[in-house]
Amino acid sequence: MKRSIAITVALILIFSLTVACGGGGGSRAPKDSTADFYEFTWPNSEIAKLIPKPNSNFGKIWIDSSSQLTIDVGNTPQAEFDKYIDECMSKGFNVNYTRLSNDWFDTSNEAGYSLLLSFKADDEIMSIILNAPREDEPEPTPEPTPTPEPQDEDENQDGDESTENTETPAVLDYDWKQFLKDYEKWIDDYIAFLKKYEEDPTNLSLMTEALDLMIKAGEWAERAEEIEVDLENDPAALKEYNEVLSRILKKLTDAL
């Protein structure tokens, strides 16, 4: 999974976890972010063995599968979070990494596994999102090109232009700079929703808005994937794209 796509997917997960922590139903919204935490056993899956086991076993395992691991770990002070980042890097998660402030670390390893670590200082919660590399879908077998019918030499005369070299050049489905502008505006709307929910968690009408946001998040992930493929052959543009995307998502984590 490409790094910027991993960040976008992580956004979907963060949103899901935020709503889940709010209880998804008004009156249940606990102020304590660790209200539903418990003492967990670190998974024994192959993907879990790729990263260090945190010092704390107090938290919640959201996803534990062969391709993804998502865990919130409580009782983790800043120093422990910083130390855990260093331990992950020593285990090979140091490829194309981005470390923002003291609460965001995004990286991958040589095998293509992507790792996102985020930190909520007020609650001393470290979030771990580890994804296996995406399996590329097999390319479809091209259909045979039909043999063109012979044309008379007199055709294409009388001012008609030749049909040779008239193919329309490929055009990007999405302009990546405009995509980032639109995406940042959506992030701003998302943050505004979080503030409304925090002010009135008993407003059931917000649940409909939450569902719409989650659906839209999936659409953004698909667009990001297309953008990433388009930029594969333009390292300079891809670098700028990832930097801007990281800044936008840093705005999100600051609002959480």
Per-residue pLDDT band for 14 (boundaries 50, 70, 90) equals low
Domain around 51: 32-135
Q: What is the pLDDT of residues 208-256, one digit of tens each?
A: 777 677 777 777 777 877 887 788 788 888 778 877 877 777 677 666 6
> Which percentage of the chain shows pLDDT scores above 90?
24
Out of 109, 135, 161, pick the residue that ends a domain: 135
Residue range 36-89, pLDDT digits in tens: 899 999 999 999 999 999 999 999 998 888 888 989 999 999 999 999 999 999
Average pLDDT, the chain: 74
Tens digits of residue pLDDT in 86-106: 999 999 999 988 887 778 888
Give the best-scoring range by mean pLDDT among 136-140, 141-145, 173-177. Answer: 173-177
Q: In this model, does residue 199 exceed pLDDT 70?
A: yes
Which residues lie closer than 8 Å to 249 by C-beta, 6 or more apart?
7, 10, 11, 104, 187
Q: How far apart are CA 185 and CA 221, in angstroms?
A: 15
Q: Which residues of 78-109 are buried (b: 16+ CB within 10 A; e: fewer)?
A: eebbeebbeebbeebbbbeebeeeebbbbbbb
Residue 109 pLDDT level (bands cut at 50, 70, 90): very high
Res 150: pLDDT: 55
Q: Is residue 251 part of a domain?
A: yes
Q: Is residue 10 part of a domain?
A: no
**Residues 130 and 179 grouped into a single domain:** no
Are residues 51 and 128 located together in one domain of the fold?
A: yes
